[in-house]
Structure 1
Amino acid sequence: MWSGEELDLDAYLARIGYETERDGELASDLRTLTALHRAHIRAFPFENLDVALGRRVPLDLKNLQAKLVERRRGGYCYEQNSLFAAVLERIGFSVTGRGARNRSRGAALPPVTHALLVVTIDDEQWLADVGFGWQGPLEPVPLRDGSHVEQSGWTFGIGVEAEGIHVLRSLRPQGWTDLYAFSPQTLYPGDFTVMNHYSSSHPESRFLGQVVAQRPGADVRRALVRDRLSTMRKDGVTEERIVTVDELIATLAGDFGIELDDEERTGLERMHPMGP
């Protein structure tokens, strides 16, 4: 389903810094899923830079490996969760796709544009999502009503609403905040392709025409949108500052670990609100 047989697993493990002698042999169990999820989050930043530059965003495994693994770039949800699904499938996990409505930006009812994964281990389902950006979980979350898990000081939970809708929530100092909601309907790679087309080309997509880079660190979470860099800590304190055009490339490299070529650097500096 996810082209796991085409994956260069050794190259992926090297990219995320996973060593079987140190971190454990790979198996289709919760320990492996948790370790890979954390390592993937650490290694790959969430970013939309190809969309911002007006490029195609292919989701076939060959292109995903070339971009994320070989070129040491990041990607957004369709790219990251498609690659992660191939990894899990290659190891022997049962993994399926889901589509979610983002609730993190207020009360509006957005379309279903977020892609995530559900992994089944010993008849129990786990939400696995390495592509939600700075607000996302560091580890899998048990997909059952009322569950909540603490992950390095960040707490996530699952609620179930009418029609079997699952909601991923994050505990903040002010209380629980909904991140996104999704139905139990299984999605396939072709569905990810359709959602990816909207997010990478539709005029109303928030990914067009602006730089987005995010990282859900264990201690500090960071998000860069256009020229505004936000930092969120475990106590809920959020700080913001403006990133100038002269700081943009260094910020993408230093805070998000994004490696760019000269053409990409020039293109991103040109779209900065302050101009080159």
Structure 2
Amino acid sequence: MSVDLDKYFARIGWDGERAPTPATLRSLQHAHLLAVPFENIDVVVGTVPSLDVGDLEAKIVRGGRGGYCFEHNTLFAAVLERLGFGVARHTGRVRIGARPGEIRPRTHLVLAVRVPGTDGPRLLVDVGFGSVDALLEPLPMIPGLTRDGRGRRHRLVLEEPEETDGPVPVWVLQVRSGDGWRELVSFTLDPAPAPDINLANWYVATHPRSPFRRLFVQRTLPAGHLALDGTRLTRTAHDGTVTVEEVDGERGVREVLEAEFGIVPPPGVRPRRED
């Protein structure tokens, strides 16, 4: 099943030119991020999210929900392919919070996009990272190139291949933080077929030590960022000012999800999943 473009564009409030151009890609990525929150509610209530495009359309487009990286980027890839972009899917390792030398499993999905009819480099696109440091615009896949995008500065660097990743180089997405660079995610350009993506999705949703077993919701705002981690609500303004407040219990969490994130959650949503 292919995604219904009319319904998707209505969901994200986008009415641009439906042509596979750099401008279309850039505006689509930003519109998606502003409209669709990052959330793991299905995992919290004990469900493995489906990556079937029809199911994603029902949940995110018609149901007004969000999702996590596999859902966001699977849906966005389907939209881009309908428009004529070339899209390759690659799995990556989240490096935020990793210990030096720690090799995490491939639990993230990124997209490498080609604009037809151009000789430019592939573009890294990721609408499923969710954090305050996430990419808001496509990033040319040129090692060392620094790109400012809507107030955030990113670059890609190449590392020598690690034994775990085989003979191919490792790309690392970094964000400018203070006087230095902070690593967000690493990935290689070997293809990630659907069975591998589905396996990673199942692992993230079911593993006892998965960080997504607790409620984690994020939203990109026109002038900032909003994050709900359990019962902790963090607001980050465009100037970097951060305010934190505690949400009062399950009822308070549901109210915040509806009022702040635009999500009407299903029954059984608790700040932390109970086993």
- After TM superposition, is the score higher than 0.5? yes
| Worse-superposed segment, 236-245 or 166-175 | 236-245
Q: What displacement does 1:234 show?
A: 4.3
Q: What displacement does 1:67 show?
A: 0.2
Q: What displacement does 1:79 show?
A: 0.6
Matched, 1:12 2:8: yes
Match of 1:130 in 2: 127
Match of 2:174 in 1: 169
Look up the equivalent residue of 1:116 and give its one-letter code. V
Matched, 1:153 2:146: no
Match of 1:39 in 2: 31
Q: What displacement does 1:247 show?
A: 2.1
Q: What displacement does 1:78 show?
A: 0.6
Q: What displacement does 1:255 show?
A: 2.2
Match of 2:200 in 1: 195
Residues 143-202 of structure 1: CA distance to partner in whole angstroms, max 9, x if unpaired? 110112212211111111112211111112242111111111111222211110101111
Q: TM-score, normalised by structure 1?
A: 0.89
- Which residue among 46, 49, 52 is the counterpart of 1:57? 49
The CA RMSD over aligned residues, in Å, is 1.7
SS for the counterpart of 2:34 is: helix
Matched, 1:244 2:238: no
- Which residue among 93, 106, 115 is the counterpart of 1:112? 106
Q: Is the 8 A contact 1:212 1:224 kept in 2?
A: yes
Q: What displacement does 1:235 show?
A: 4.3
SS for the counterpart of 1:171 is: strand
Residues 25-55 of structure 1: CA distance to partner in whole angstroms, max 9, x if unpaired? 2111111111110111011000000000002
Match of 1:229 in 2: 233
- Which residue among 51, 66, 69 is the counterpart of 1:74? 66
- Which residue among 240, 243, 254 is the counterpart of 2:259? 254
| Worse-superposed segment, 7-16 or 108-117 | 108-117
Identity of matched residues, %: 37
Distance 2:148 2:25 in 1: 16
Specify which structure has the higher proportion of helix. 1
Q: What displacement does 1:205 show?
A: 1.1
Q: Is the 8 A contact 1:152 1:219 kept in 2?
A: no
Distance 1:179 1:254 in 2: 29
| Total equivalences in the alignment | 259
Match of 2:22 in 1: 30
Distance 1:233 1:165 in 2: 33
SS for the counterpart of 1:28 is: coil
Distance 1:136 1:256 in 2: 18
Distance 1:224 1:56 in 2: 21
Q: TM-score, normalised by structure 2?
A: 0.89
